[in-house]
Amino acid sequence: MNFLITGAAGFLGAALANNLVRDGQQVRGLDDLSTGDPQALDKSVHFTRGDVNDRPKLWTLLQNVDCVYHLAARVSVPESILYPREYNAVNVGGTVSLMEAMRDVGVRRVVFISSGAIYGKQARQPLKEKNRPSPDSPYAVSKLSSESYVRTIGELWGIETVSLRVFNAYGPGQNLPPSHPPVIPNFIRQAVRNGSIVVHGGGDQTRDYIYLDDAIQAMVAAATAPSIDGQVINVGSGTETSVRDLAQMIMTLTDSSAELIFNPRASSGVDRMCADLSLACEKLDFEPKISLEDGLQRTIQQDDRFALP
Ligand code: NAD
């Protein structure tokens, strides 16, 4: 099959692109390199630098494409609170541009990578797709709004659509920006340096951490799975872990003497997050295979940035 991946040079995009070419698929990648690194891509991926809002470029890249994976986005929740206009322009505007270009060229299916963040605070866990979303950041709003655009434009123009609500994905190669870094690579970096690990709030908040290879398994399945048109599907580990336990696990695995500091004044986000995977199991034959401990071990071993001195 012929694929286009937007955001192909990013953490999830590059792993997906490399996985698909290893399976003998034809893959084009688009990324503006605002955070992505094209060096992460296998030589067989046809990479183009460009903006997801550039429709003429999309028209060219979409020729003869069977399935699009849409990942290009700004991805930081705290940054989205500071710059909501930018998050709207890239995440929502980019999605609409892509759907319009797909309509113009004629593409069969799009797999949109949404986020578990759209659920926000919910009374019950695990989180089911039919729960009413309660997004609590411009990032989450941009993902929920993009889900609606994808489904609506898809229905209007006969494009098959599926939105995967990926929970907290982690693994080797995850972007580690200086401000507001994602929790797992940040904790590992601090642990291997024997620095301080700062936990926001009391550390009792739970999250659903899914290892990269498991997330990619679900994404690959979504390109060809039957009867998923118009669906939103959770992709997580189905297990919830407190941030305190995560920090302890990372310290044990790295044999670290880092100091664990709790910052009660920092917002710790929603209390609990855990994905219900029934629909993913039914529609994508999805079953996470890698435990958190195993995934953390692989991340520590395979990511050069965490090489132990
Ligand atoms: P990432 O930042 O590594 O990847 C995003 C990529 O999009 C980057 O390579 C960036 O350069 C590119 N990009 C940004 N703006 C662009 C634009 N205007 N035009 C073209 N490319 C642009 O982040 P990631 O973790 O790989 O996330 C990929 C997708 O998965 C995002 O849509 C994100 O919202 C979604 N997601 C990620 C997670 C996670 O835990 N990593 C969880 C849920 C959803």
How far away, in angstroms, is 161 Cα from ligand 1 center? 19
Q: What angle do CA 117, 120, 124 make, to 5 degrees?
A: 115
Nearest Cα residue to 170 out of 32, 293, 47: 293
109-115 vs 160-166, strand pairing mode: parallel
Three-state helix/strand/coil letters over 158-199: CCEEEEEEECEEECCCCCCCCCCCCHHHHHHHHHHCCCEEEE
139 is catalytic: yes
Candidates 186, 167, 166; CA nearest to 176 is: 186
CA angle (281 as vertex; 28, 77 as ends), nearest 5 = 60
Binding site membership of 52 for ligand 1 (Cβ less than 6 Å)? yes
3-state helix vs strand vs coil in the chain, percent to 5: 40, 20, 40
Catalytic residue (choose from 87, 139, 149, 211): 139
- Interior angle at CA 294, CA 19 and CA 284, nearest 5: 45
Question: 216 in ligand 1 pocket by Cβ < 6 Å?
Answer: no
Q: How confident is the model at residue 308 (pLDDT cuts 50, 70, 90)?
A: low
pLDDT digits (tens, 9 = 90+) for 179-196: 889 999 999 999 999 999
Q: 9 CA to middle of ligand 1, Å?
A: 9
**84-132 pLDDT, tens digit each:** 999 999 999 999 999 999 999 999 999 999 999 999 999 999 999 999 9
Report the interhelical angle of 94-105 vs 138-157 (nearest 10°).
10
The ligand 1 atom at the shortest distance from the C-alpha of residue 175 is 3
Q: What percent of the chain has pLDDT over 90?
A: 96
- The residue whose CA is least distant from atom 32 of ligand 1 is 71
Do residues 89 and 72 touch, judged by C-beta distance below 8 A?
Answer: no
Q: With a 6 A CB cut-off, is 9 part of the ligand 1 pocket?
A: yes
Q: Is the CB of 32 under 6 A from ligand 1?
A: yes
Q: How many residues does the chain have?
A: 309
CB 14 within 8 A of CB 41: yes
pLDDT tens-digit map of 71-87: 999 999 999 999 999 99
The confidence band for 162, taking pLDDT boundaries of 50, 70 and 90, is: very high
Specify whether the CB–CB gap between 81 and 137 falls below 8 A: yes
* pLDDT score, position 309: 61
The letter for the amino acid at 58 is: L
Write the pLDDT tens digit of every residue in 255-296.
Answer: 999 999 999 888 889 999 999 999 999 999 999 999 999 999
Predicted pLDDT at 307: 85
| CA nearest to 7, candidates 56, 70, 59, 58 | 70
The dihedral over CA atoms of 200, 201, 205, 209, expressed in degrees to the nearest 10, equals: 10
Instruction: Give the CA angle between residues 168, 173, 177 to the nearest 5°.
Output: 75
Q: What is the mean pLDDT of the chain?
A: 97
